[in-house]
Amino acid sequence: MNKLSTGIIFISSILISGCYSQGGWTPTVDSYNDPNAYRINQDMAECKDLATHASGGTAKETAIGAGVGGLIGAAGGAALGAIAGSPGTGAAIGAAAGGIGGGAKQGFESEAQYKRSYSNCMRNRGHHIVN
């Protein structure tokens, strides 16, 4: 893999990881008839931490996905490029495409796991979750 494709994968993974941040989302809690309403803030802080650990962290998972996708894309791109007479160019294009796709996929999956874990944690603590 050449420096261009490595740079493209790195920049793409940084951009993607910035798009999938778990920091702003919280489940909506309906406190009506909630016997544990006095614990909502404490439970949200604890569940947020647990969900972050359960999901592996979006930025970390996105970087892993970008790396794996980049390697697979580079191999496939090199093979197709060899057929066309330019394996280096094919590898660079394949690495970039694979890195972006792999990073996005891992980022989405990690974000979904984070939200499920956060909501489940709050439900298991007796709170009514709307979303």
Residues 6+ apart with CB under 8 A from 73: 94, 95, 96, 97, 98, 99, 101, 102
Structure confidence by residue, pLDDT tens digits, 90-119: 666 666 666 666 656 666 777 888 999 999
Structure confidence by residue, pLDDT tens digits, 51-88: 988 877 545 555 655 665 665 665 566 555 666 666 66
Helical ranges in the chain per DSSP H: 3-19, 40-55, 58-84, 87-124
Structure confidence by residue, pLDDT tens digits, 17-34: 444 455 589 999 999 999
Length of the chain: 131
State pTM to two decimals.
0.59
Name the amino acid, one letter, at 53: H
Alpha-carbon distance of 12 to 116, in angstroms, equals 26
Quickly count: other Cβ atoms within 10 Å of residue 49's Cβ. 12
- Tell me which residue of 77, 69, 63 sits closest to 110, measured CA to CA: 63
